[in-house]
Chains A and B, each alone.
Chain A
Amino acid sequence: MTEQKDTDVKQVASTPSEKRAHEPMSVSRRSLFIGVGSTAALLGLGALRYVGHTPVNRPPGGQDEAALVSACIRCERCYEACPRKIIVPATIEDGLLGMRSPQLDFSANYCDFCREENGGVPLCTQVCPTNALQLPADAVLGNPETGERGNVIIGIAKIDEYSCLAFRDTGCRACYDACKYDAIRLEGTDTNPRVYVEADKCNGCGACESVCKSLSAGSIVSGATHRAIIVEPVEAE
Chain B
Amino acid sequence: MKTKNLRTAIAVGIFVVLAAGLIFGVSFGTLSGFGWDDFSVLCPLGALGTMIATKTMIPRAVVSLVAMILFFVVLGRAFCAWACPVGVFDRIRAFFRSPKKRKEIEQAKHDEMLAISRQELEARGVAVKNAEHADAQCTHSCKTCGGCQPFKHGKLDSRHAVLGGALLSTAIFGFPVFCLVCPVGLTFATVLVVWRLFSAGDMTWSVILIPAFLIVELVLLRKWCTRFCPLAGLMNLFSRFSKTWVPTIDDSKCLETAKESACGRCAMACEADINIRHPEFGERTMADCTRCRACIDACPTKAISMPFLVRAGHKVTLADAEQDVLEGIQGAERRAEAAFSPLDKAGE
Contact = CB atoms under 8 A, between A and B. Distances in A.
Given A35-B162, A45-B180, A70-B174, A91 B204 contact: yes
Given A43-B172, A67-B54, A92-B204, A130 B42 contact: yes
Contact of A82 (B25, B61, B143, B189): B25
Interface in A72-106: 72-77, 79-83, 85, 88-89, 91-93, 96-97, 99-100, 105
Contacts of A67: 54
B162 A39 contact: yes
Contact of A71 (B50, B143, B152, B165): B50
| Chain B interface main SS type | helix
A189 interface: no
Interface string B89-105: 00000000000000000
Given A38-B161, A42-B177, A46-B170, A77 B33 contact: yes
Interface stretch (B75-83, B118-126, B310-318): B118-126
B187 to A, nearest CB: 11
A16 B151 contact: no
B29 interface: yes
A129 B40 contact: yes
Contact of A38 (B26, B149, B162, B185): B162
Interface string A92-136: 110011011000010110000000000000000011011110000
Contacts of B179: 72-74
B106 interface: no
A6 interface: yes
Interface stretch (B192-200, B264-272, B319-327): B192-200
Interface in A22-43: 22-24, 26-28, 30-32, 34-36, 38-43
A71 B26 CA distance: 23
Contacts of A127: 27, 29, 35, 37-38, 40
Interface of A: 6, 9-10, 13, 16-17, 19-20, 22-24, 26-28, 30-32, 34-36, 38-43, 45-49, 66-67, 69-77, 79-83, 85, 88-89, 91-93, 96-97, 99-100, 105, 107-108, 126-127, 129-132
Task: Sort A-B residue pairs by CB-CB distance and give the 9 closest, nearest first.
Answer: A35-B161, A75-B33, A39-B165, A46-B173, A73-B46, A46-B169, A91-B204, A34-B158, A129-B40
